[in-house]
Amino acid sequence: MTKIYKKSEITFAILWIVLYVVLSSLADQLSESVGIVKSVTAVLHVVMSLILLLWIRKSGLGEKYGFCRSKVPAKRFLYYLPLAITASASLWGGVGLPLGLPGTVCYVISMCCVGFLEEVIFRGLLFRAMEKDNLKTAIIVSALTFGLGHIVNLFNGSGRDLTSTVVQIIFAVLVGFVLVLIFYHGGSLIPCIVFHSANNALGAFAAEGAMDPKVSMALNVILIVAVLGGYSFYLVKKIFPKAE
């Protein structure tokens, strides 16, 4: 891995993105054949997370990729409250255990690892690789690739239709934009990983069918526009008005 990284950081980042997307999709299909959601995927994600974490530590790249305290006080980031509101949205329709105990455990493990992997890959590897050449391009590409990566939900048997997938992509792009700003200005990826993992994992405890689909869609739109949109505006215009 180190040879590829030293030769081209962008190539290294893209390689990890491709491996992550392809292997995760295959693992999800194998999990379905096993009969326990995310059973195979959880193992894959744990292995990939350990490999990436150990490589970063061995290479002395921990600070570069945000494994450190934030340089910006939490108060300036509004104590990350907009992120907490966003993460709690899965439970607005009620709490349940629709996946059963084995499925819930596998799902939570997988989603916590996804939070780690996607933040390190998209906000860490990809963003840092492009940042030195063009900061604005790096921010846009990091957010867009993260969001557009969710288009695989149309083909991987997740059950999402076109409308819900489009909403999810818009949501993910905006989340990606917010998180890359937090990482760039704070220098720490830890708040991003914590939010991302919690946002994903809490979905395992959402009561199935407790909320009308139209109401759910309306709440998602409000969440995107008011919470994430407002937080993005705050980060760009209020805290860092002179950021390039």
Q: Does 244 reside within a domain?
A: no
pLDDT score at 212: 73
CA dihedral 205, 228, 192, 101 (to 10 degrees): 10
Q: Does 171 reside within a domain?
A: yes
- Provide the sign of the torsion angle of the four alpha carbons 150, 155, 156, 158, taken in this order: positive
Asked if residue 157 has pLDDT above 60, the reply is: no
Q: Does 135 reside within a domain?
A: yes
Asked if residue 193 has pLDDT above 70, the reply is: yes
Q: Which amino acid is at 168?
A: Q
**pLDDT tens-place string over residues 40-84:** 999 999 999 999 999 999 999 999 999 999 999 999 999 999 999
DSSP 8-state secondary structure symbol assigned to residue 207 = P
pLDDT score at 243: 47
- Provide the sign of the torsion angle of the four alpha carbons 98, 221, 81, 118, taken in this order: positive
- Closest by alpha carbon to 135, among 35, 242, 7? 242
Asked if residue 165 has pLDDT above 90, the reply is: no
Please state, in angstroms and as integers, the Cα–Cα distance from residue 100 to each residue in 94, 106, 152, 207, following that order. Answer: 16, 10, 25, 12
DSSP 8-state secondary structure symbol assigned to residue 24 = H
Count of domains in the chain?
1
Q: What is the average pLDDT score of the chain?
A: 90
Q: How far apart are the first and last CA of the chain?
A: 32
In the structure, what pLDDT confidence band is assigned to residue 28 with cuts at 50, 70 and 90? very high
**pLDDT tens-place string over residues 89-137:** 889 888 999 999 999 999 999 999 999 999 999 999 999 999 989 999 9
Q: Does 34 reside within a domain?
A: yes
Helix 39-58 / helix 100-118 crossing angle, nearest 10 deg? 30
Give the domain extent around 224: 2-239
